Amino acid sequence: MKARITVTLKNGVLDPQGKAIEHALSGLGFDGVGQVRQGKVFDIELTGTNKAKAEADLKAMCDKLLANTVIENYAVEIA
Amino acid sequence: MKSAVVLLPGLNRDRDMIAALTKISGHAPATVWQTDTEIPDVDLIAIPGGFSFGDYLRCGAIAARMPVMRAVAEKAAKGVTVIGVCNGFQILVEAGLLPGALMRNSSLKFVCRQVKLEIANANTMFTRGYQPGQIIRSPVAHHDGNYFADPETLARLEGEGQVVFRYAEGTNPNGSINDIAGIVNDKGNVLGLMPHPENLIEAAHGGNDGRALFESALGIAA
């Protein structure tokens, strides 16, 4: 089983890296770029086959390590 | 006063911290390694600065989940004094021993310079050797010192006097909210700060503005 976890900054948390990327895209001549927010993606291979257990485990992984829930949200997708 | 210094791979200010504690307390601190599950009977535990685990994932995130940090949390709950400097602050925040988060500097640049700090609360065990509102100098060296907390947490920190150090006179090097440079927990026995007071404790450093912090925490200052 393969899973993808996406970690993004919560709304209201300033993202200076996203801002710098936004300016760089404009500098490259891309018109019409609005706000850019950057984040992280984790691709995780799981050996089990129980999807419900995997989902619970992945959420626990996010809460305990992969995301800092003070400033970040996460989304779990299982392929 | 007995002290201990936490060692983790990637820290690089550990020797500075050990030297400062040795010079100020008169005794060499014990050292505890990341996998240690017990910390000796000490009055003060210091987590030094550096780049534990290469700052992978988030600064301090992996260090905060090592066994030694469970031992630090147990000691902190029993009232032992804990100081985290720079990466040590990031580790304390990631471990949940202090509220909020430390994000990338708003300039996106690593800052290595001297800043001015205001003693925002001189009525803590870490700052009783300073005067209220006193401005001291301190070096900073970090890439992720931009303190953030949600509005409720921030209001609580400000209301309860948990903001202990603030960047003064326009020297905020990282975009930190309310110019916050250092905070204590609600019990007042755990301090985290981004500046490096251990690097300004004697004439050879060009000043001793940081010395009173350690004297206060070690019970040497009045």
- State the smallest CA–CA distance between residue A16 and chain B in angstroms: 5
Active site residues of B: 86, 196, 198
Question: What average pLDDT is seen over chain B?
Answer: 97
Question: Using CA atoms, how far apart are residues B98 and B185, in angstroms rounded to an integer?
Answer: 6
Chain A residue numbers touching B146 (CB-CB < 8 A): 14, 16
Residue-wise pLDDT for A14-63, tens only, equals 898 999 999 999 999 999 999 999 999 999 999 999 999 999 999 999 99
Per-residue model confidence (pLDDT) at position A79: 86
Token pair recorded at residue A41: 């993606």
Largest CA distance in chain B: 43
Per-residue model confidence (pLDDT) at position B1: 85
Chain A residue numbers touching B99 (CB-CB < 8 A): 70
Give the angle subtended at the CA of B138 by the CAs of B1 and B206, to the nearest 5°: 90
Check pLDDT > 90 for residue B2.
yes
**Burial, B191: exposed, middle or buried (Cβ in 10 Å; 0-12, 13-18, 19+)?**
buried
Residue ranges of A 18-57 with Cβ closer than 8 A to chain B: 20
Average of per-residue pLDDT across B124-129: 97
Check pLDDT > 90 for residue B38.
yes
Query: Is A14 near chain B, with CB under 8 Å?
Result: yes
Element (H, E) at B143: none
Residues 6+ apart with CB under 8 A from B42: B2, B3, B4, B29, B30, B75, B80
